């Protein structure tokens, strides 16, 4: 039987997303979106000793993109920045359930924005970094 | 013809989607095809397939006759002077690009092109590119809060420097029907050419280019029951004579030497290369189907469905409907469910076998103007019934329940 696209986990994360908001005193701010569908997201991270001490995000988009961003924020919180940069699409899809091909872009929006932000933060020698307008 | 039974003529409407009866509410994107259109294409390939305007043989004569007849039928359908004013293109987009090149060639730096904020990207980007090439200036007529064209504003922005006024005949998102006749008059008064993007108008309302008085009118076969890959540019004969061709090559010339070429007569001057002949056969059948139905019946049927849908969908809590409350409007219902993204709504409706469109509908500036990121759009045609709208209402209710909004 075909698995439900809007799984319990997606609907739960969409209705009550953890880590919603913005950290004013951030180490990294990464914002961007997909101009074709109009979805966009901004992550703010507090990074201490190479670890994501705190992360928040605010976004506008479909249930799949928001649920995926919420899940991603939970996955990286407390972990090293290096491990956050290594999360791949498959790991996200496995946790979210059945993401059909036409909606995979929605699920990957947050990951691509966050990882581009981390790359820029590393390049900036871990100084306070703000990247906006990342096009996915 | 009875509209209640029109659906029977469309084979696809008897299939199921996710185990449910297919409810097709996306005709503004592309219309479904009646059996007669599908058979016309098949008959062409099984009985008359050959290239047109080439060769003295039975098959080529048959193919040429079918192809030319489709031009004559189109001319009659929109009351153009004749076949010479009907150019077949790939689609509305290509028709408008043809104009932006061939008509736009005469533009000079500082000349103005007047558009509206309601345009599909097809009637915006080709003009933007033209303006870049020529150093021309683009101005935009505003839209009112309720989604109509600000006609006073449009008139005041037209002037001595205006060379082209291009506007949509009917909005692909709001369904607003614009006063094409008035737009053509404003253009005429300032010696500008008028261009009507009629992709959403010709399939749904009777269009008479002589009555409108426009210089150019563009539309696509696939939105009016015909095949994809064939579109129309209607142009006033005198203007088409003056214009240079857009695409060049075979069939569009009368004589060629190593040094140059002379152009063929209208409309062939603008139809380079082997055209979509089977598409023209299908398009001819689509026009016949619409003529048999009667455009006044098409219009009446859609009006009734629109009225029913605005009431039925409008009374659902937390559903916002966009578009003009007053004035003429084709069968398009743009809406959003509060707290749900348009893509999620579309995906949820699909589970009920309901096909709608969701997103920015190739009109990003209009969406920006409306202050929304995306919108759901249900659009109707002759094969839809009130039962389809009831199904939509029920599915919207279910989607709200699943998403808890």
DSSP state letters, B136-149: -EEEEE-B-TTS-B
3-state secondary structure at position B396: helix
8-state DSSP, A25: T
| Domain-located, residue A131 | no
| Domain-located, residue A1 | no
C-alpha angle B353-B390-B22 in degrees, rounded to nearest 5: 20
**Angle at which helices B58-77 and B277-293 cross, to 10°:** 40
| Domain-located, residue A3 | no
Contact A25, A3 (CB under 8 A): no
| Domain-located, residue A129 | no
| Domain-located, residue A96 | yes
| Domain-located, residue A100 | yes
B373 to chain A: closest CA residue: A38
| Domain-located, residue A16 | yes
Q: Which of B111, B251, B255 is nearest to B190 (CA)?
A: B111
**Angle at which helices A63-76 and A104-123 cross, to 10°:** 40
**Residue pointed to by tokens 């949820």:** B348
| Structural domain range at position A68 | 8-121
Q: Which residues of A touch B344 (CB under 8 A)?
A: 6, 62-64
Determine, for residues B374 and A37 on separate chains, whether the beta-carbon distance falls below 8 Å. yes
Query: For A77-94, what is each residue's pLDDT tens digit?
Result: 999 999 999 999 999 999
Domains and CATH numbers, chain B: 3-30+295-403 (3.90.1150.10), 38-291 (3.40.640.10)
DSSP state letters, A120-133: HHHHTTTS-EEEEE
Q: Which residues of B touch A14 (CB under 8 A)?
A: 403
A40 to chain B: closest CA residue: B373
Q: Take residue B267 and report the two structure tokens written for it.
A: 């409309």
Q: Which of B190, B193, B214, B362 is catalytic?
A: B362
Q: Take residue B340 and report the two structure tokens written for it.
A: 């749900």
Read off the CATH number of the domain in which A88 is found.
3.90.1010.10
> What Cα–Cα distance (Å) separates residue B101 from each residue in B134, B181, B270?
11, 25, 12
ipTM of the complex: 0.86
Average pLDDT over residues B162-173: 97
Report pLDDT for A1.
33
In the predicted structure, residue B376 carries a pLDDT above the cut 50 = yes
Q: How many residues does chain B have?
A: 405
| Domain-located, residue A130 | no
Contact A121, A130 (CB under 8 A): no
B367 to chain A: closest CA residue: A38
Percent of chain B past pLDDT 90, that is, above it, reads: 91
**Angle at which helices A89-96 and A8-15 cross, to 10°:** 100
B190 is catalytic: no
Question: Using 50, 70 and 90 to split pLDDT, how confident is the model at A2?
Answer: very low
User: Using CA atoms, how far apart are residues A65 and A83, in angstroms rounded to an integer?
Assistant: 21
Name the minimum distance, in Å, from the CA of A6 to any CA of chain B: 9
Q: Which of B223, B250, B287 is nearest to B80 (CA)?
A: B287
In the predicted structure, residue B362 carries a pLDDT above the cut 90 = no
Query: For B238-276, what is each residue's pLDDT tens digit?
Result: 999 999 999 999 889 899 999 999 999 999 999 999 999
3-state secondary structure at position B90: coil
Burial class from Cβ neighbours inside 10 Å (0-12, 13-18, 19+) for residue B255 reads exposed
Query: For B11-42, what is each residue's pLDDT tens digit?
Result: 999 999 989 999 999 999 999 999 999 999 99
Percent of chain B past pLDDT 70, that is, above it, reads: 100
Report pLDDT for A119.
97
How many independent structural domains does chain A possess? 1
Determine, for residues A6 and B343 on separate chains, whether the beta-carbon distance falls below 8 Å. no
DSSP state letters, B175-197: -BBP-HHHHHHHHHHTTPEEEEE
Average pLDDT over residues B191-198: 98
Q: Which residues of B touch A60 (CB under 8 A)?
A: 373
């Amino acid at each position: 039987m075909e698995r439900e696209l809007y799984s319990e986990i997606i609907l739960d994360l969409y209705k009550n997303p953890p880590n919603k908001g913005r950290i004013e005193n951030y180490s990294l701010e990464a914002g961007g979106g997909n101009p074709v569908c109009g979805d966009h997201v901004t992550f703010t991270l507090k990074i201490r000793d190479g670890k994501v001490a705190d992360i928040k995000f605010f976004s506008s988009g479909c249930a799949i993109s928001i649920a995926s961003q919420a899940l991603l924020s939970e996955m990286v919180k407390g972990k090293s920045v290096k491990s956050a940069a290594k999360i791949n699409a498959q790991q996200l899809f496995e946790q979210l359930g059945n993401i059909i091909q036409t909606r995979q872009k929605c699920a990957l929006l947050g990951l691509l924005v966050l990882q581009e932000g981390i790359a820029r933060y590393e390049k900036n020698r871990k100084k306070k970094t703000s990247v906006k307008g990342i096009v996915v | 013809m009875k509209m209640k039974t029109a659906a029977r003529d469309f084979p696809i409407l008897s299939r199921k989607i996710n185990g449910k009866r297919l409810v097709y509410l996306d005709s503004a994107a592309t219309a479904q095809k009646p059996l007669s259109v599908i058979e016309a294409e098949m008959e062409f390939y099984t009985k008359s397939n050959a290239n047109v305007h080439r060769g003295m043989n039975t098959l080529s004569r048959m193919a040429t006759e079918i192809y030319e007849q489709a031009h004559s039928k189109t001319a009659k359908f929109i009351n153009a002077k004749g076949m010479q004013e009907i150019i077949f293109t790939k689609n509305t987009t290509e028709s408008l690009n043809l104009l932006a090149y061939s008509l736009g060639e005469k533009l000079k730096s500082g000349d103005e092109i007047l558009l509206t904020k309601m345009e599909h990207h097809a009637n915006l980007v080709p003009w933007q590119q033209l303006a870049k090439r020529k150093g021309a200036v683009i101005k935009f007529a505003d839209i009112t809060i309720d989604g109509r064209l600000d006609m006073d504003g449009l008139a005041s922005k037209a002037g001595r420097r205006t060379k082209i006024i291009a506007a949509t005949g009917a909005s692909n998102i709001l369904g607003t029907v614009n006063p094409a006749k008035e737009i053509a008059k404003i253009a005429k008064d300032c010696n500008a050419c008028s261009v009507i993007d009629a992709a959403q108008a010709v399939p749904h309302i009777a269009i008479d280019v002589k009555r409108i008085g426009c210089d150019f009118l563009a539309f696509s076969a696939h939105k009016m029951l015909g095949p994809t890959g064939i579109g129309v540019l209607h142009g006033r004969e005198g203007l088409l004579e003056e214009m240079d061709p857009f695409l060049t090559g075979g069939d569009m010339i009368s004589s060629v030497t190593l040094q140059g070429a002379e152009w063929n007569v209208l409309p062939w001057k603008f139809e380079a290369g082997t055209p979509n002949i089977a598409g023209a056969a299908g398009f001819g059948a689509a026009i016949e189907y619409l003529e048999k139905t009667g455009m006044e019946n098409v219009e009446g049927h859609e009006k009734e469905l629109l009225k029913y849908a605005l009431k039925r969908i409008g009374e659902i809590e937390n559903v916002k409907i966009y578009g003009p409350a007053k004035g003429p409007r084709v069968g398009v219902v743009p809406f959003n469910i509060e707290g749900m993204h348009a893509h999620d709504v579309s995906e949820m409706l699909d589970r009920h076998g309901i096909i709608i469109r969701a997103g920015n509908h190739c009109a990003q500036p209009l969406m920006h103007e409306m202050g929304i990121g995306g919108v759901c759009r249900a659009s109707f045609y002759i094969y839809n019934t009130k039962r389809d709208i009831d199904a939509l209402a029920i599915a919207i209710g279910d989607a709200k329940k699943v998403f808890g909004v």
